[in-house]
A and B are shown apart, each in its own frame.
Chain A
């Protein structure tokens, strides 16, 4: 391997050491990523690349390091999911309707990374308005999973909605990336791309400046190469934000330090309802291995029951789509975005929105509008929110007995782009294991733990109590160590091919 690709293999933790030791500069690190950009470009992981900005950020980072004022993320070349508003940098949410929207403001999360001296390589591709599980609804086109075999008839999906972020991290095109998770949009693509993805507790990271999909579920989080990196990056983006009324006023420190704790004596629950009928044997097997790994690391395994598990997905789709139908009403062609001219106002709205939104988004807005409409509200939305209360109660009661829960992240490995499109519900099933934690606002992590029969990565998920990211990270680290997942995707930036 060349020195260049050595740099590209470093995770945040080791890059931090190297920068501090002056083994290399932030500029060198950034240039290495920029030089390797062509290799990853076919993945279509970026919607917007910002090389000039990256070099400026890198020089600023080096000055900071020189001055001995480096923060943990200083000099780290990252991607921001193109759902985070970035001041002066086009933000599209992967939708035609936002056109060339250039925010005059910076989201809290991207702003924290900027303030810490992280280097912005670009804005990562995603499903339009984060609505999807395969990154195929993006107006910028689909993202290819870097694990796609050469002989594959069709490229594989990286999952979604944070598909660009996960693919870029997996391919070594960025050291880490931000994502957002509404029903699994961080954890599922992380699992399908063989990287670590963490959805923090709802309220842990500010939603201010993040283009909204479903406000009561959306939560920003890190997608990284290691559990330690997830802890480091979470520490950088978490914290109370007075500009977000749903932001929790709790201390957000010591995530990395917590890793040292280990899992000895930790009580790990295995929710039996997750063993859905028709669960592929390889997923079941991976889960059993995970249980053994936890046991071997000194954790106690407890069989638990979450009776409402099966209802999480249908409830999720009602709540998420209802909120989305309202959140996306602002895209009307008046204050920003593309307008389809018409001589009458209602026509202008309908033409603009009809042409500006993609098929899946249109579908979801229509469903969301319907479940809120006169005569249906109680039967759909209200019932869903009641079921949501029951789901949360399920988790509360098991967390009296256990510290964390262990489950698979996804029901399958990466599938081909184009599969399941005909059948929206089948597509929704990808989130069956990730949605319950979302509905209860719980922290959860996906860690790569094994390979499918076709040699594709599979992830294990750890779910924790509200604001107990520490325990989630600890078990995540134990699984990462035990699984020793060191396989790399076929397409790898800087790889000698």
Chain B
């Protein structure tokens, strides 16, 4: 599978990563190279094999339903680039 410019800009849009037009061809080349490398996997017969979900034989632990966290609005927004009082601020969203 080799990717063209359009495919790369579509993925970039999906990933919300701005890619300059000038970079598209180069990037398409690099990504295609990586993809053809990983595509060796298609040669493996995995019929009847379960995909690995969770490493080892672990099961999800369960937590008690008690409030142990929160009440720290200041710390929560302390690293925000554009806090508005206790809120996070972002460019206006029109719905």
Per-position 1/0 for B7-39, Cβ under 8 A of A: 010011111111100000001001101110111
Asked if A333 contacts B27 (CB within 8 A), the reply is no
18 cross-chain CB contacts under 8 A: A242-B61, A248-B56, A248-B58, A333-B81, A336-B79, A336-B80, A337-B81, A339-B81, A343-B91, A345-B91, A348-B91, A362-B17, A367-B34, A380-B41, A383-B44, A387-B41, A423-B33, A424-B34
Asked if A388 contacts B40 (CB within 8 A), the reply is no
Residues of B bordering A, CB below 8 Å = 3, 8, 11-19, 27, 30-31, 33-35, 37-42, 44, 46, 49-56, 58, 60-61, 63, 72, 75-82, 88, 90-91, 93
Known: A314-B37, A343-B91, A344-B91. A366 touches B17 (CB 8 A): yes
Residues of A bordering B, CB below 8 Å = 100-102, 104, 201-203, 216, 242, 245-246, 248-249, 308, 310-311, 314-315, 317-318, 325, 329, 332-339, 341-351, 353-355, 357, 362-363, 365-367, 369-371, 373, 379-380, 382-390, 392, 423-425, 428, 440-441, 466
Tell me the bound Cα distance from A428 to B33 in angstroms.
Answer: 12
Tell me the bound Cα distance from A353 to B15 in angstroms.
Answer: 9
Asked if B49 contacts A335 (CB within 8 A), the reply is no
The 3 residue pairs across chains A and B that have the minimum distance between CB atoms: A354-B18, A336-B79, A385-B51
Q: How far is the CB of B27 from chain A (nearest CB, A)?
A: 7
Partner of A318, one of B11, B41, B76: B41
Asked if A104 contacts B75 (CB within 8 A), the reply is yes
Tell me the bound Cα distance from A346 to B15 in angstroms.
Answer: 10
Partner of A335, one of B34, B72, B79: B79
Tell me the bound Cα distance from A380 to B52 in angstroms.
Answer: 13
Partner of B58, one of A246, A346, A382, A390: A246
Asked if B33 contacts A202 (CB within 8 A), the reply is no
Known: A202-B55, A334-B80. A365 touches B17 (CB 8 A): yes
Asked if B79 contacts A203 (CB within 8 A), the reply is no
Asked if B90 contacts A370 (CB within 8 A), the reply is no
Partner of B91, one of A342, A386, A390, A466: A342
Partner of A424, one of B33, B79, B81: B33
Partner of B55, one of A216, A357, A384, A386: A216
Name which residue of chain A comes closest to B89, CB basis: A334
Taking A370-B3, A384-B38 as given, write out 13 further A-B residue pairs in contact, using a Cβ cutoff of 8 Å, ordered by the A residue number. A317-B34, A334-B88, A335-B80, A338-B81, A341-B91, A346-B16, A350-B12, A363-B27, A366-B27, A367-B35, A384-B41, A385-B51, A466-B56
Residue of B3, B13, B80, B91 with most chain A CB atoms under a 10 A cut-off: B91
Partner of A383, one of B12, B33, B41, B78: B41
Residue of A350, A386, A387 with most chain B CB atoms under a 10 A cut-off: A386
Q: Which residues of A contact B63 (CB under 8 A)?
A: 242
Q: How far is the CB of B85 from chain A (nearest CB, A)?
A: 15
Asked if A353 contacts B41 (CB within 8 A), the reply is no
Q: Which residues of A contact B53 (CB under 8 A)?
A: 385
Asked if B61 contacts A387 (CB within 8 A), the reply is no
Asked if B31 contacts A366 (CB within 8 A), the reply is yes
Tell me the bound Cα distance from A367 to B8 in angstroms.
Answer: 9
